[in-house]
Amino acid sequence: MGSFNLKELDLEAQQLWENYSTKELTNRERMAIPDQHMATQEVAVRVTNMEEVALGYSEAQVRVEALRCLHCKNAPCITGCPVQIDIPRFIALVGEGKFGEAVGVIKESSLLPAICGRVCPQEVQCQLPCTVGKSLKSVEKAVNIGRIERFVADWEMQKGATKVPSIAPPTGKKVAVVGSGPASMTAAADLRRAGHQVVMFEALHKTGGVLVYGIPEFRLPKEIVRREFETLIAMGVEIETNFLVGRTSKLKELIESEGFDAVFLGTGAGLPRFLKIEGENLVGVFSANEYLTRSNLMKAYERGKAGTPIYNSKRVAVFGGGNVAMDAARTALRLGAENVTVVYRRSETEMPARREEIEHAKEEGIEFLFLHAPLKILGSEKGRVRGVELIRCELGEPDASGRRSPVEIKGSESLYPCDTVIVAIGNDSNPLVKQTTEGLVVNKRGNIVVEEETCKTSLEGVYAGGDIVLGAATVILAMGQGRRAAKAMNQYLEGLADN
């Protein structure tokens, strides 16, 4: 990918637009249009700041990219989208320069296009089955649906054209939304639109959940999340921070004594998973959750300004292969680490991180050690990390997840010297709501069990969605569940006798 200069890309796109926009294009001609790269901050510059790496398309670029869409009758991209956005329709509108209408089409299915355009793994969703990519034999050549989505969403925000959705007349019903991440944001919006009073409870001092504490500024500017909350507040969603359901009030009390007619639980991922190897509690071993929360939520990257400290690292080993691992590695680099290595048990192909994040990480000088697993973490006399013992792996038979599972190769142990270890191998579920709510059914991993279509839990009037149900999933899947739950909750509330 490399760093791309917005001005140069824009000029090229303007020329292309002049060539193509004046005539009716055949499919062959559409496929010949070069796919549009997205401008990024220069590598040397961006590793010294926390600002967003990807700069988005120019107007000419987005319209050229839109011309690449073949508007297939069967629209395989829609099937690839977890919330079935009418992708060809919004892309057609972009081609016509009707950005406001395009964003309206997206919002019929997805509440948060500025966020999803940035964080969705499009290459395994909408862009995977794209006919253009298939014909050009590379998913990287598929229509860049995510980038187009991002453009129109940003366009709307910059124009100040964000419409506050209309709210149905008051129903007299009161709903609690627990947590303020993507699942809860979506549920809250849809419930409020139906005219219910909606109170959102957040345990932390800031709203946004994983979008704020987990995903770094360089990948998702917090200003975008803040604006989404501005809209929710303008819609009349009430927000109560510093409220931990289960401790400040129990779930049943919300229903029985605080007058809530229904509850949506979107409490998110819970306790970080550790490797369960020797040395895991040494000084210098962090969960990615802790490391990223310090940096993102507590702004520890502004050393000297922030009250929350963050570890001074020189050599960092990050375990894991997902987006969180990429985020942690790139944060460590920006905080001044001299060497950051991502250690992953499988090969690059199996990495669940977004392709773009892996590419950006590589450009920035993050090193990758594939097919290696940690055996133990070694400590100094003072109990601080001094290295990790690794073992090489080869890929064996596919496991339950369908990915080929790593098999350790005996005798291939090696030592990787480092002073910091960041563990990014996922989360177990938070035990709190379960512990404090009688009758709430969870599975053996502690995730709340829901009916698939309605997101209804084992308790009357209580619905759930997002990571507390799915384990570690994506923003778009969390949003999809928030939306499904809200639809079912709206039906449920309609069926309730008036208070």
Partner 1 sequence: MFTVLAKERLSKEIFRMEVYAPKIAERRKAGQFIILQQGGEYHERIPLTIADANKERGSITLVFQAVGEGTHRLATLEVGDSIKNLLGPLGHPTDVRHYGKVVCVGGGIGAAPLHPIAQAMKEAGNELKVIIGARNKDLLIMEEEMGHIADEVIVCTDDGSYGRKALVTEPLKELCESWQPNLVVAIGPPIMMKFCTVTTRPFNIPTIVSLNAIMIDGTGMCGGCRVSINGETKFACVDGPEFDGFAVDWDNLLLRLGTYKDVEDDAHHRCHIGLDIKEGDA
Name the residues that contact partner 1, by CB under 8 A. 203-205, 213, 241-244, 247-249, 268-272, 274, 280-284, 286-287, 289-290, 293-294, 297-299, 302, 305-309, 311-312, 382-384, 430-432
User: Alpha carbon of 38 to those of 48, 87, 118, 149: distances in Å?
Assistant: 20, 19, 12, 13
| Minimum distance from residue 361 beta carbon to partner 1 (Å) | 23
**Between 60 and 269, whose beta carbon lies closer to partner 1?**
269
List the one residue out of 456, 400, 457, 469 whose CA is nearest residue 429: 469
| Minimum distance from residue 260 beta carbon to partner 1 (Å) | 15
Furthest-apart CA pair in the chain: how many Å?
73
Can you tell me which residue has the tokens 């932390």? Answer: 204
Whether the CA torsion 471, 472, 473, 475 is positive or negative: it is: positive
List the one residue out of 313, 310, 375 whose CA is nearest residue 343: 375
Radius of gyration of the chain from its Cα atoms, rounded to whole angstroms: 23
**Between 302 and 413, whose beta carbon lies closer to partner 1?**
302
**Alpha carbons 1 and 45: distance in angstroms, whole number:** 16
Lookup: tokens for 416:
């990787």
Alpha helix stretches (DSSP H) within 72-181: 76-80, 87-95, 99-109, 113-119, 131-135, 145-158
- According to DSSP, the β-strands at 315-319 and 420-423 are parallel
User: Alpha carbon of 368 to those of 112, 273, 321, 365: distances in Å?
Assistant: 32, 21, 10, 9
| Minimum distance from residue 276 beta carbon to partner 1 (Å) | 8
**Between 118 and 294, whose beta carbon lies closer to partner 1?**
294
**Between 54 and 200, whose beta carbon lies closer to partner 1?**
200
**Alpha carbons 465 and 459: distance in angstroms, whole number:** 14
Decide: helix, strand or coil at residue 312: coil
Q: Give the Cα-Cα-Cα angle 95, 101, 103 (nearest 5 degrees).
A: 90
| Minimum distance from residue 40 beta carbon to partner 1 (Å) | 26
| Minimum distance from residue 379 beta carbon to partner 1 (Å) | 9
| Minimum distance from residue 367 beta carbon to partner 1 (Å) | 25
Beta pairing partners, 68: none
**Between 99 and 229, whose beta carbon lies closer to partner 1?**
229
List the one residue out of 350, 345, 318, 353 whose CA is nearest residue 332: 318
**Between 248 and 414, whose beta carbon lies closer to partner 1?**
248
**Alpha carbons 369 and 392: distance in angstroms, whole number:** 10
| Minimum distance from residue 455 beta carbon to partner 1 (Å) | 22
**Alpha carbons 180 and 214: distance in angstroms, whole number:** 13
**Between 92 and 432, whose beta carbon lies closer to partner 1?**
432
**Between 92 and 298, whose beta carbon lies closer to partner 1?**
298
Given a contact cutoff of 8 angstroms between Cβ atoms, the answer to whether 195 and 172 are in contact is: no
Can you tell me which residue has the tokens 């409020």? Answer: 192
**Between 94 and 300, whose beta carbon lies closer to partner 1?**
300
Residues 6+ apart with CB under 8 A from 88: 69, 71, 72, 75, 77, 78
| Minimum distance from residue 245 beta carbon to partner 1 (Å) | 10
| Minimum distance from residue 54 beta carbon to partner 1 (Å) | 24
**Between 269 and 459, whose beta carbon lies closer to partner 1?**
269
| Minimum distance from residue 413 beta carbon to partner 1 (Å) | 24
Beta pairing partners, 249: 245
**Between 286 and 344, whose beta carbon lies closer to partner 1?**
286
Helix and strand element counts for the chain (H, E) = 20, 17
| Minimum distance from residue 405 beta carbon to partner 1 (Å) | 24
